[in-house]
Amino acid sequence: MSPPKKKIKILEDGQGGEACHPTYDYSTLPYDVLLEIFKYLDFKTIAQCATLCRTFYNISNESVVYNRVTFKYNMDTNLLENYISKKTKRIIQNLRGTYCRNDEVLSLLSECPNLTAVNFMRCKGSFKSLLTLRNLEKLELFFCIFPKEVLQEILQNNSQLKSITLCDNTNLNGNDVCENLAIYNPQIEEVHIAEKRRVRTKGLKALARCPKLRILELEGGPFQCDPEDSLEQLAVGCPLLERLTLYGWKDINDETLMPVLHTCMQLKELDLRGINITIKSCREAALTLPFLKTLDVYKCQRIKKAQILKLQNEFKDIRITN
């Protein structure tokens, strides 16, 4: 595609045709500003803009415009291949896919060796092209049909991974993922897991071997499982925790939670919905955690609303909800 040689002429009122509203010439904006705007456009829009004037054409050829890529299930494969394989394959760092069930499209990921972040929602495939990646720092999978063996190998190939999010995927087991993280990604900083096969005692003990863990979110419906001393191990092994979310773990009580409240002094957010604690744990958290800003004890049946109201009045700098 060559740059357009003529600028578009806007008809003024009275020059024929219908009256035109005043139009702003975006091509006169500073080049750096236009560059930032183009970063938010999809492939098709960029291609259309490139035909309008030389300035837009020049910007469309800037590699930085293609650092982040989003593709959908109905995207033309040839268009995607043109941009990824020929123009941007070593530039793309962040890629998001939605409703993609085409292995031919997914195979193009092997042409993007510098990817540091990938996000897939409702996708299905072999995902074997991800096995070529070695620079991943962030991995997010939502409602995907994803082979567990492939995920294990991805974790093994990307020891520098900093953040992982898994939500309601088929074939994945929360406990297995945590054990793999402890083996291959001990420097992990953020773990968000909301899988049907929940993270239990075994998985929590595995995460205790990740000393840089700052955010741990384990969500899902209620379940029964003896936590044993897993929370104590987590508290000792992950002293940098700033956010801890535990949903529906019915066997966690005041006694098993106390090591976290006495050891993880960096905690700012505690989300303890549906667990078996009393107001004792809430008061202890408010008294012992100097940076605590949020405490959520929704559906904790042993805590009464009157007790929460009293605690809210005592600790007004902490957002306490139930």
Question: What are 138-163's pLDDT values in tens digits?
Answer: 999 999 999 999 999 999 999 999 99
CATH 3.80.10.10 boundaries in the chain: 173-322
Ranges of the chain with pLDDT below 70? 1-24, 69-90
Looking at residue 9, what is its pLDDT? 44
Looking at residue 139, what is its pLDDT? 98
Looking at residue 28, what is its pLDDT? 85
3-state SS of the chain? Answer: CCCCCCCCCCCCCCCCCCCCCCCCCHHHCCHHHHHHHHCCCCHHHHHHHCCCCHHHHHHHCCHHHHCEEEEECCCCHHHHHHHHHHHHCCCCCEEEEECCCCHHHHHHHHHCCCCCEEEEECCECCCHHHHHCCCCCEEEEECCECCHHHHHHHHHHCCCCCEEEEECCECCCHHHHHHHHHHHCCCCCEEEEECCCCCCHHHHHHHCCCCCCCEEEECCCCECCCCCCHHHHHHHHCCCCCEEEECCECCCCHHHHHHHHHHCCCCCEEECCCCCCCHHHHHHHHHHCCCCCEEECCCCCCCCHHHHHHHHHHCCCCEEEC
Q: What CATH number was assigned to the domain covering residues 173-322?
A: 3.80.10.10
Looking at residue 2, what is its pLDDT? 56
Q: Strand 190-194 and strand 215-218: pairing?
A: parallel
Looking at residue 111, what is its pLDDT? 76
Looking at residue 6, what is its pLDDT? 45
Looking at residue 90, what is its pLDDT? 64
Looking at residue 26, what is its pLDDT? 79
Looking at residue 231, what is its pLDDT? 98
Looking at residue 121, what is its pLDDT? 94
Question: What are 59-99's pLDDT values in tens digits?
Answer: 888 877 877 766 655 556 666 666 655 455 567 788 888 88
pTM score, whole prediction: 0.80
